[in-house]
Amino acid sequence: MTFNDFNLKKEILQRLQEIGFEKPSPIQEKAIPVILAGRDVVAQAQTGTGKTAAFGLPILNKIKPDEKALIITPTRELAIQVSEEIFRFGKYLGIHTATVYGGSSYNRQIKHIQNSQFIIATPGRLLDLLKSGKIDIAPKYVVLDEADEMLDMGFLDDIKEIFKFVPNDRQTLLFSATMPQPIKELAKTILKEPEFITITKKQVTNENIKEYFYVIDENERKDALIRLLDYKNPQKSIVFCRTKKDVDDIADFLSGAGFDAKGLHGDMEQRRREEVIKGFKSDKIEILVATDVAARGLDVNNVTHVFNYHLPLDPESYVHRIGRTGRAGKEGMAISLVTPHEFRALNRIQKISKIVLKEVPTLEDVKSSEIKKIIEKLSTIEPSEKAIEIVEELQNEYDLLSIATKFAHMLFEKEVDGREKIGKSIKEAKRLIERSKKDSNRGKRYSRNKRGRRR
C-alpha cells in the first residue's frame, strides 16, 4: 500500500514524498480511510507509530478554509511537536497552526487562534480561554491525543468541560496508548458510533531483552549501580547517563571501585574517543559509560547489559538505549535505576515496554550468588597438567586448605562491600508509585482550582 491509495490531495502527496514518507504505517493504513469517510475513531496506538499523520493527513485533506480543527494534547511539548508535524505536512496547503498552552501570552495565542485552521492546545489553558469567552471556536474536527496520559495527569474533568463548548456537529477522534475504564467511558460520551482501531504492534522493545527497574533514593544511585554490577557480573555493558559530567564522574567512580570502565562523550578528543570505542569492541574495556549522543552509531554486537543510571525522559530514548543489547538473537538485560522523581518518565516507558520492578540485591545475595557461580564453574573444570604441577609444588609450602583459600582470594580480589540493603522493597516501591499517581492528580486539580479562584 502507498499514500497514493488514499486519494489524498496532490499538495499533500508531494509533501509526503519530499519528507520521505514512502509507506503508510499500520495505524495510518487503518485510520486514514475511516477518518476520510467521516467516521469517529477510537485508536489505540503509541507514540512512534505515526499517529500524528494518521489523524493529521485526513483532516488536512478534508478541512475547508472556514473550518477549524482542535487537537488536545496532555503536554506543551507534545502540543508543539504535533503542531510542527501538521505544519510540515500542510506546507503546500498554506496551513497555519496555533499552539496554545499555559505560561505563554494570552493575547498572542488568541490572535493566532483566530487566524489558524489548526489549534493544538493543552487542556488547562484551552479551558481557561473558552470559559472566559476570550475565544469562540466551533471546531469541525476534534482530536484527543494521548488521552490516557491526560487522564493520568488529572485532566479528565477539564476535557469533559471542554466538550461543553464545542458543537455536536463535529468529527471526533480519540487516540490513546492504553484504554483504561475512564477513557472508555469518556469515549462513549464524546464520540458517535466510533470505529475502534487497535494496532497490535508487537512490543516495541525486543523479546530477547529482560528489562528490570529498581526504585532507590537519589543518594543511592552509585551504591545501587555497584551492587548490581557485582551481582550481575556483566561481561560487557553500557551505562547510560544524561550528562557529560555524569559520564566523567561515574567512569572515574567505577574505575576507582576496580571495574574496567571508561567514559565516552562528545567533549572528548577524537583520538581518545576512538581508542575507547576500540577498547570496548575488543573486550579490553568491560563497561562503557556514555551519553545517548556519544553512543549513537556505536555498533557493538555482544553487549550483555545496558544500565540506565538515570531513566531517559522519553520512551524513544529508552527503546534506543536498551536496543544496544539483545542483538543478533542473543539474550540481553536492561537495568534501570529509578527514583520517585522519575515516576512520570517510568509511567511512559511502562506503556511501551515490559519493564519489571525488582529489588536491589543485598550484600548477602551477592555473596551467595558468587559462591553459587564458583560451584557451577568448578564442576566443569578439568585440571590441566600444568595446574596439577603447580599444586604439587605448592604443597611443599602450604596445606591444601590454605592453597585453595589463597586461590579463591586471587580470583575475587575485588571485595564485595557496601551497605547490606540498598533501595526500596517491592512493596514500598509499589506504594510510592501509587501515591505519586494520586498526588499528581490531586496536585493538578488543586492548582487549577487556585487559578479559578484568582480570576
Which residues make up the interface to ligand AMP (CB under 6 A)? 21, 23-25, 28, 47-53
Q: Which residues of 335-359 are buried (b: 16+ CB within 10 A; e: fewer)?
A: bbbbbbebbbbbbbbbbbbebebbb
Dihedral Cα 305, 306, 310, 312, nearest 10 deg:
-150
**Which residue, 47 or 122, has its beta carbon nearer to ligand AMP?**
47
Rounded least distance, CB 82 to ligand AMP, Å:
8
Rounded least distance, CB 297 to ligand AMP, Å:
19
CA distance to 143, 326, 366, per residue, from 146 (Å): 10, 30, 42
**Which residue, 45 or 360, has its beta carbon nearer to ligand AMP?**
45
Rounded least distance, CB 355 to ligand AMP, Å:
20
Rounded least distance, CB 219 to ligand AMP, Å:
36
**Which residue, 320 or 367, has its beta carbon nearer to ligand AMP?**
320
CA distance to 221, 223, 242, 296, per residue, from 245 (Å): 15, 18, 9, 18
Rounded least distance, CB 72 to ligand AMP, Å:
15
**Which residue, 53 or 250, has its beta carbon nearer to ligand AMP?**
53
Cell (9 digits) for 335? 537495568
Tally Cβ neighbours within 10 Å of residue 325: 26
Tell me how far apart the alpha carbons of residues 121 and 142 are, in angstroms, rounded to a whole number.
Answer: 11
Tell me how far apart the alpha carbons of residues 281 and 324 are, in angstroms, rounded to a whole number.
Answer: 13
**Which residue, 85 or 370, has its beta carbon nearer to ligand AMP?**
85
Cell (9 digits) for 386? 600444568
Rounded least distance, CB 164 to ligand AMP, Å:
29
Query: Which positions ≥6 away from 50 have C-beta within 8 Å?
Result: 24, 25, 27, 28
Rounded least distance, CB 24 to ligand AMP, Å:
5
Tell me how far apart the alpha carbons of residues 450 and 455 are, in angstroms, rounded to a whole number.
Answer: 9
Rounded least distance, CB 59 to ligand AMP, Å:
14
Tell me how far apart the alpha carbons of residues 314 and 78 are, in angstroms, rounded to a whole number.
Answer: 11
**Which residue, 2 or 449, has its beta carbon nearer to ligand AMP?**
2
Dihedral Cα 178, 183, 184, 189, nearest 10 deg:
-150
**Which residue, 23 or 164, has its beta carbon nearer to ligand AMP?**
23
Tell me how far apart the alpha carbons of residues 103 and 432 are, in angstroms, rounded to a whole number.
Answer: 30
**Which residue, 99 or 304, has its beta carbon nearer to ligand AMP?**
99
**Which residue, 24 or 154, has its beta carbon nearer to ligand AMP?**
24
Dihedral Cα 335, 341, 347, 353, nearest 10 deg:
-10
Chain mean position to CA 384: 50
Tell me how far apart the alpha carbons of residues 86 and 89 are, in angstroms, rounded to a whole number.
Answer: 5
Which candidate, 352, 362, 334, 241, places its Cα nearest to that of 292?
241
SS3 196: strand
Rounded least distance, CB 88 to ligand AMP, Å:
8
SS3 274: helix
Rounded least distance, CB 135 to ligand AMP, Å:
26
Rounded least distance, CB 3 to ligand AMP, Å:
8
State the angle between helix axes of 51-62 and 26-36 in degrees (0 to 180), rounded to the nearest 10: 30
**Which residue, 52 or 99, has its beta carbon nearer to ligand AMP?**
52
**Which residue, 27 or 238, has its beta carbon nearer to ligand AMP?**
27
